[in-house]
Amino acid sequence: MSDEPGDAATAAEVSEEPGFGDRLAALQDSELAVVGIAAVGVLVFPLVFNNLLNGYTQLATLVLVWGIFALGFDILLGYTGLLSFGHALFWGGAAYAAGIFSASVSGQPVLVILFGTLVAVLMAWIVGFLSLRRGGIYFAILTLTFGQMAFYLSSSPLAFLTNGENGFTSVSIAPLFGVLDLHGSLGGPLGMLPGNTLYLFVGAVTVLSIALANRILKSPYGIVFKAIRENESRAEFVGLDVWRYKLMAFVISALFAGISGSLFTIEGNYVPLSSLYWTTSGEVVIMTVLGGVGSLFGPLFGAAVYLYIEFIVSGMDVVGPFWHLILGLVFVIVVVLFPDGIWGGITAIRDYVGGDR
């Protein structure tokens, strides 16, 4: 928020009359504006999604849940340049932790999320510490290894905790702050708002997550992530402890995976074993890349597109059975031709309209 006047001044210096694109860019730099846009987006999303696109509120909720996961993943892949294939561990791990916590300690949603996230962060600290010894493909394979280890652990040796193949079913979520039943409908004036209680709760967490991600990425700390992505050895030469920053990027991305995983448990009241399988890691990779790496809102778009194809297109007559194939094709096309993803495309159009380029 503080740097808004400064940016406006720079824009004014470049051209007397700031263009539409400039003003939009300046707006994006303001923290309050980002949070505001996110909040409005979250509120408007189900209206557009349900009415124009044949969606439904439960799916809109799921989009936000996965969107948080992808948002965190992008901090690692898009901003720091590290590709992890083991994030299912933190997402599914948090989902299980949240479920077990709700069943045996407390079903208070806020505590459930805090506990799930804490578990994800602790696991990420260990896994990141061990995996970051190597870069590039070795990092991808090591994270994959730890993820699969957790999957097979949960499937049988730890089945007494996780309920093995059947998934964890005894989730019990209490009303929020003891009054608001998350799975009930809204009463009173709140009934005017789109979506149900659960959607609004998840939406509030989403806005907080976006604010947090924005704060981290715009801070000097987050800018180091980009420096590492651009040129790791140069970052090392200017005296930055690259390894520490990479580990923190890994832990931070797992933090979001943890929030998302816990929300997933609250949303569905169930944790499937497949939440730990490496294809779940693949899904978040696809979402993030589809939406656009290295942008704040891109991954959320990616999650929306992915889940829309998974749940809506898959129900269509002709193309339905091929939804995964379609997704694979779109993904490959994006990787080959549009490295900036869908969000990159949108920004390109915005810049074009704004007359910046």
Least separation in angstroms between residue 261's CB and another protein is 21
Residue 22 vs 283, nearer CB to another protein: 283
Least separation in angstroms between residue 28's CB and another protein is 26
- Hey, what are 86's tokens? 């083991």
CA distances in angstroms from 148 to 135, 156, 246, 324, listed in the order given: 19, 13, 22, 22
Count CA atoms closer than 13 A to 26's CA, side-chain side: 18
Residue 46 vs 298, nearer CB to another protein: 298
Least separation in angstroms between residue 342's CB and another protein is 15
DSSP designation for 79 = I
Least separation in angstroms between residue 165's CB and another protein is 12
Residue 50 vs 145, nearer CB to another protein: 145
Residue 112 vs 342, nearer CB to another protein: 342
Provide the angle, in degrees to the nearest 10, between the axes of the packed helices 109-131 and 88-104: 140
Give the DSSP per-residue string, 8-38.
Answer: HHHHHHH-SS--HHHHHHHHHH-HHHHHHHH
Least separation in angstroms between residue 124's CB and another protein is 15
Least separation in angstroms between residue 135's CB and another protein is 6
Cα 212 → chain centroid = 12
- Hey, what are 356's tokens? 């910046």
- Give the Cα separation of 252 and 76 in Å (integer): 8
In 3D, which of 103, 254, 85 has the Cα closest to residue 171?
103
Residue 8 vs 161, nearer CB to another protein: 161
List CB contacts of 269: < 8 A, sequence separation 6 or more.
171, 173, 183
- The footprint of another protein (CB under 8 A) covers 77, 81-83, 85, 130, 133-138, 140-142, 144-146, 148-149, 152-153, 155-157, 278-279, 282, 285-286, 289, 321-322, 324-325, 327-329, 331-332, 335-336, 339
Residue 39 vs 122, nearer CB to another protein: 122
Burial of 142 (0-12, 13-18, 19+ CB in 10 A): buried
